[in-house]
Amino acid sequence: MRKTINIVITSAATLLLGLGVLLNAPAAQAGGQAPDTKTCTDKENPPKDVVTQGGCIVIERTKGNCMACHQIPGVTSGDIATKFENMAQRWPDKAKLRAQIWDASKANPHTVMPPFGRHQILSADEIDKVVEFVLSL
Ligand code: HEC
């Protein structure tokens, strides 16, 4: 009997936890795509979650400007580089993805992709946020 009660309590807790995660999802951003500029430039209520913050760095022309080359859902993009899709599957090792963004010339000395970390185009903290956003695509 005790076991059954425990199971019931655990299931209820899991359900509540799941609900909490759902309710906490950022409202302004549809999943799997770039945030809109309005969300990014809202000074009164700046985005608080790292995925949206990373997305804002990615689409900011003076920051990542990744869409100049990459195709990114939700923003007008160039197509001289890859499309950001299935990123979590394609990059199971977060450190490797970070290294690619930090200095793409490590993997390919002839790449046109700017070495965002090595040239201090983005700070370490900004690159961490960019990684979180990229992995959400
Ligand atoms: C000037 C063009 C350019 C810009 C800007 C650029 N990239 Fe790239 N990127 C490339 C090219 C070209 C490749 C293909 C690989 C190579 O050249 O070695 C690439 C490859 C990648 C890859 C590996 C391929 C893939 O789809 O998984 C990732 C991840 C990546 N870029 C992330 C970024 C991020 C994040 C930004 C912005 C912070 C960015 N890139 C900005 C040109 C660019």
Q: Which domain holds residue 120?
A: 28-135
Query: What digits encode the pLDDT tens for the residues 82-100?
Result: 999 999 999 999 999 999 9
Task: Report the distance separating Cα 16 and Cα 8, nearest Å.
Answer: 12
| Residue 12 maps to a domain | no
Report how far apart the first and last C-alpha atoms of the chain are (Å, whole number): 45
- Assess whether the C-beta atom of 59 lies below 6 angstroms from ligand 1: no
- pLDDT, residue 31, reads 76
Contact 35, 52 (CB under 8 A): yes
- Assess whether the C-beta atom of 105 lies below 6 angstroms from ligand 1: no
Residue 21's pLDDT band (cuts 50, 70, 90): very low
- pLDDT, residue 6, reads 58
Query: What digits encode the pLDDT tens for the residues 47-85?
Result: 999 999 999 999 999 999 999 999 999 999 998 999 999
Task: Return the structure tokens found at 87.
Answer: 């990123």
Q: How far is the CA of 66 from the centre of ligand 1 (A)?
A: 7
| Residue 46 maps to a domain | yes
Does 106 have pLDDT greater than 80? yes
Task: Return the structure tokens found at 130.
Answer: 């960019």
CA dihedral in degrees (58, 39, 125, 69; nearest 10)? 0
- Assess whether the C-beta atom of 69 lies below 6 angstroms from ligand 1: yes
Domain count of the fold of the chain: 1
| Residue 19 maps to a domain | no
Does 42 have pLDDT greater than 90? yes
